[in-house]
Amino acid sequence: MGFDSNIVARTLSTSDTILCASPAYITRHGTPRVPEDLARHVCVLRRPAGIHRNSFGLWRADQSLTEPPAHDIEVRAAITINQTASILQMVLDGAGIATFTMDSARPFLNQGMLEHVLPDWITGRAKVLAAMPSRKHLPERAKAFLDFVFAAHRAGLIDRC
């Protein structure tokens, strides 16, 4: 299926992607202090189709992602999978370090179930988009729903990413 140039997308939210590990993993293996330390740690990787590398690109949290990453660290993978819930469960169980959106990790960070690893660094930024077939002839009910969702996200009433 090709690209449909009539599709219109609005950014719903943006969230930094960060590195996290469980307290149990940190107790057993120590806390990485600098990006190069990741090479000595075990990681749980998410690998998009067509990518065959075991690495994390790292940007400073205040760095533009239009620039190349400040670090590209080859890591040792405990496992590579594509399912976020499985990655989360493995990390909570102490299998290694993984990357999550800040918004999806926040509840686990707040409860002490995860620790933010290398907090001055991010692995990227994820966007949640609302895609519509076009702006023309958008049903009123769809427009009302999208307006509600955007307002709720801006107000912090629902999870963002």
- Name the 3-class secondary structure at 74: strand
For the chain, how many structural domains are there in total? 1
Asked whether residue 96 is assigned to any structural domain, the reply reads yes
**Cα(148)–Cα(60) distance, rounded to whole angstroms?**
34
CA distance 89 to 86: 5
51 belongs to a structural domain: yes
Whether 144 is covered by a domain: the verdict is no
- Residues 35, 9: Cα–Cα separation, whole Å: 34
Residue 135 lies in a domain: no
- Dump pLDDT digits (tens) for 30-56: 999 999 999 999 999 987 666 667 888
Asked if residue 94 belongs to a domain, the reply is yes
Residue 152 included in any domain: no
Host domain of residue 102: 15-125
- Give the CATH number, domain containing residue 59: 3.40.190.10
Read off the pLDDT of residues 67-85 as tens digits, 9 standing for 90 and up.
999 999 999 988 888 888 9
**160-35-93-83 Cα dihedral, nearest 10 degrees:** 50
